[in-house]
Amino acid sequence: MTGGEFSARLAGRAAEIGRTAWNACANPGGLANAHPFTRYEFFEAVEESGSATPRTGWRPLHLVIEHNGRIVGLLPLYLKNHSQGEYVFDHAWADALERAGGDYYPKLQASVPFTPATGRRLLVADGDREDAIRAALLSTAQTAVRELKASSLHITFLTEEEWRAAGDAGYLLRTDQQFHWENRGYSDFAQFLGELSSSKRKNLRKEREAVRAEGVEFDWLTGSDLTESVWDIFFEFYMDTGGRKWGHPYLTRGFFSRVGASMADQTLLVMAKRNGRHIAGALNFFGDGVLFGRNWGCTEFVPFLHFETCYYQAIEFAIARGLKKVEAGAQGEHKLLRGYMPTTTYSAHYIAHPGLRRAVDDYLVREREAVAEHIEELAEHGPFRKVEPRD
């Protein structure tokens, strides 16, 4: 694929692109405080561990844009034969096309595997020509759909700015919601509690006290604390919860060893223990001013343990590290009562079939309106104290 001053190609696995070239596009300012889910190290870990591979329905075909033989743009891309592990649901679209006699799979997915975290997807090394390289990525990705005889391309959890650029390039635009916690310069958890309404504040205190009354304590493990024995324990938690939620957990044991070795400085394990033994854990990644909650699991039931391990400990860590936000993952209106407010998320879609494209386009207009109204309604019922306007 060529066009103008740029050339484009599908490069395969992240390892075939290499750490230096990948991170030059993903984090041109350097890896200090980089976004964890744009880093080469995360994609290398999820692919080389056997988690995101052709065998699991995630064939890496990362799209690169080159100029004078140097990679200047990158779109993380997978050819898929299912819609699992994406968190933006297109099952109805697949059913509609197949009822009409078409094939929805394979499709192209531009995303971070198994990770509903907002971040850049159109990765550009050259800031002076960012708009041109973005446009090249968006246009050549559509060409890839046709050349691979895929039904569609889905770019998920991209930034709002990228989303608007995709709309300008002819992509269909979709919105959804998550619940994120915002750090308003709190000095500690008590100051955060002070901004909640009385009833919500009492509820949070009750939940936290109930966990402490069960004798549960917490460790924050990061950096050199992330030993193989710790990963063994957490993997047991992950397999137990993942097996019940999905039937077959997405991530292999090798994934955790790889991120522990290459991204330990941006990885946080919140581990809950009772009587000196770990009983639950939550995996988080942090960088770019945000703590991203990812996976959780437990081997014992303790009331409110999930809320404490995943939400309240995340807030405590974010305040301690001066992080601006906590993204607690997909879905879950129960997060609202615990200080996590509704936030718009974005995805962009290119559908090759003209009939399905028209139908989806009409549907998305109504869906975007409904999502905006729902977010506004949820925000009205948030846990924070109402501030009366002054005369």
Tell me the backbone φ, ψ of residue 134, rounded to 5 degrees: -55, -45
Q: Whole-number mean pLDDT of the chain?
A: 94
Output the six-digit token pair for 347.
Answer: 């995805």
Catalogue all structural domains in the chain, each as residue range(s) with its CATH number.
2-179+343-380 (3.40.630.30), 184-323 (3.40.630.30)
Residue 389 confidence (pLDDT):
44
Q: Is the pLDDT of residue 277 over 60?
A: yes
Band (128; pLDDT cuts 50, 70, 90): confident
Average pLDDT, stretch 299-312? 96
The residue-averaged pLDDT of 135-156 equals 98
Residue 387 has a pLDDT of 62
What's the number of CA atoms in the CB half-sphere (13 Å) around residue 79? 19
pLDDT confidence of residue 388:
52
Give the chain as a 3 state SS string: CEECCEEEEECCCHHHHCHHHHHHHHCCCCCCCCCCCCCHHHHHHHHHCCCCCHHHCEEECCEEEEECCEEEEEECCEEECCCCCCCCCCHHHHHHHHHCCCCCCCEEEECCCCCCCCCCCCEECCHHHHHHHHHHHHHHHHHHHHHCCCCEEEEECCCHHHHHHHHHCCCEEEEEEEEEEECCCCCCHHHHHCCECHHHHHHHHHHHHHHHHCCEEEEEECHHHCCHHHHHHHHHHHHHHHHHHHCCCCCCHHHHHHHHHHCHHHEEEEEEEECCEEEEEEEEEEECCEEEEEEEEECCCCCCHHHHHHHHHHHHHHHHHCCCEEEEEECCHHHHHHCCEEEEEEEEEEECCHHHHHHHHHHHHHHHHHHHHHHHHHHHCCCECCCCCCC
End-to-end CA distance of the chain: 63
Q: Are strands 107-110 and 290-298 parallel, antiparallel or unpaired?
A: unpaired
State the pairing for strand pair 152-156/107-110.
Answer: parallel
- Closest listed residue to residue 237, CA positions, set 181, 310, 162, 185: 310
- Taking only the tens place, the pLDDT of each residue in 152-209 is 999 999 999 999 999 999 999 999 999 999 999 999 999 999 999 999 999 999 999 9
Average pLDDT over residues 6-26: 96
Residue 3 or residue 312, greater confidence = 312
What residues form DSSP beta bridges with 80?
58, 107
221-260 per-position pLDDT tens digit: 999 999 999 999 999 999 987 655 555 789 999 999 999 9
Q: What is the pLDDT of residue 75?
A: 98
Let me know: does 296 contact 311? Beta carbons within 8 Å. Answer: no
Q: Calculate what percentage of the chain has a pLDDT beyond 70.
A: 96
Q: How far is CA 389 from CA 32, 386, in A?
A: 42, 9
In degrees, rounded to 5, the angle at the alpha carbon of residue 37 between the alpha carbons of residues 379 and 265 is 105
Question: Is the separation of the CB atoms in 311 and 185 below 8 Å?
Answer: no
Q: To the nearest whole percent, how much of the chain has pLDDT over 90? A: 91
User: pLDDT category, 330, cuts 50, 70, 90?
Assistant: confident
The CA R_g of the chain, rounded to the nearest whole Å, is: 22
In whole angstroms, what separates CA 34 from the centre of its chain?
15
- Structural contact between residues 121 and 111, judged by C-beta atoms closer than 8 angstroms: yes
Tokens (6 digits) for 157: 């959890």
In this structure, are residues 260 and 231 in contact, taking their beta carbons and an 8 Å threshold? yes
Environment class of 184 (CB within 10 Å of its CB; exposed 0-12, middle 13-18, buried 19+): exposed
> Which tens digit of pLDDT belongs to each residue from 21-65?
999 999 988 888 899 999 999 999 999 999 999 999 999 999 999
Q: How confident is the model at residue 390 (pLDDT cuts 50, 70, 90)?
A: very low
The model's pTM? 0.95
The rounded distance, in Å, linking the Cα atoms of 17 and 30 is 18
